[in-house]
Structure 1
Amino acid sequence: MKACHAFLDAGDALVVPSLDRYGRSLQDLINMVAELRERGIGFTSLHENLDTTTPGGRLVFHVFAALAEFIFCTATTRARRPSVVRFPGARACLAARASPA
């Protein structure tokens, strides 16, 4: 990524397929886009259809970046969660349901 940033000059625009492909975290994403903006370089995300060279585009960027991080965190949390939720008394509940009344 650093080589890509070094190649860009003021007036250029960096185009990425989607926000989640550009940064690893929300803070990382915001920092990299802020660095580009300070250097006069635009940022465009094709999937989200946003362009940070406009005030509205910057607003949408921050909203989509937060959503991308939320989706990533939700997916990783689901991947770590066990498929069966265990809680105290679970066996008693299952045994009571299995025995005929």
Structure 2
Amino acid sequence: MATAVAVTILTSAASAVISAAINQVAPTIANLGKWDEAREAFTQQTVKGMWDNKTGDYGAAICYNMAYEVSNTDQMYEKTSVMLELELLHTDYDCFYMSGPG
């Protein structure tokens, strides 16, 4: 029996638009049994959902799971942290909108 991919929103005051995008993607990726497929589908589909439903005049929708630096954090909006898990594999993402040069 295959184990389902789990998606957990970790931010208590998560963005409604980003949460909706994540919740829309979760059932789609739940039965992808391969880690790389699940990660790829999560990032691509979540960012698309964020972009399609953005409420501000943002320049980018981002979901990123590695260390990063932003020169001006005032240009980051609606940052929402998410955990993606499949069996023993797991990674966390920051999903957010950004405006201006980063």
Please identify the structure whose Cα radius of gyration is greater.
Answer: 1
Q: Confirm or deny a common fold (TM above 0.5).
A: no
**TM-score scaled by structure 2?**
0.28
More helix by share: 1
**TM-score scaled by structure 1?**
0.28
